[in-house]
Amino acid sequence: MTVNASWYLTLAAILFTIGSVGMLVRRNILVMFMCIELMLNAANLTFVTFSRVLNDIGGQISVFFVLIVAAAEVVVGLAIIVAIYRRRVGATADDQHLLKG
């Protein structure tokens, strides 16, 4: 029997908070992407925890789909980043503050 579920949920909350603060603070687009991954993982941890507590496989299935969507999101997002970097030399998100600029 592993530790109480509230510990897992608290850990997931801390992880989500770190991810969201990093998203707000950092300027590098790649690191912002990594922060999105952190937040997704926090949500996954919550899903698995509730799956164990409620004795329901649906949580783990949800994590499975989240993993797939995260992979697809990373592929498309990195392709967009590569396309942006190819056009202009800007390393931060502030350099792309104009649409059609």
Interaction with another protein in 52-91: which residues (CB under 8 A)? 52-58, 60-61, 63-65, 67-76, 78-83, 85-87, 91
Subset of residues 23 to 42 that bind another protein, contact rule: CB under 8 A? 24-28, 30-31, 33-35, 37-38, 41
- 81, 86, 87, 88: CA torsion to nearest 10: 80
Distance CA 63, CA 67 (A): 6
Site for another protein contains 51 (CB under 8 A): yes
Instruction: Tell me how far CA of residue 52 lies from CA of 1, 38, 64, in angstroms.
Output: 11, 21, 15
Site for another protein contains 43 (CB under 8 A): no
Closest separation in Å from C-beta 51 to another protein = 6
Site for another protein contains 96 (CB under 8 A): no
Residues 6 or more apart whose Cβ sits within 8 Å of residue 48: 59, 60, 63
Closest separation in Å from C-beta 100 to another protein = 15
Out of 88, 94, 98, 99, the only residue in the binding site for another protein (CB under 8 A) is 94
67, two tokens: 């993993």
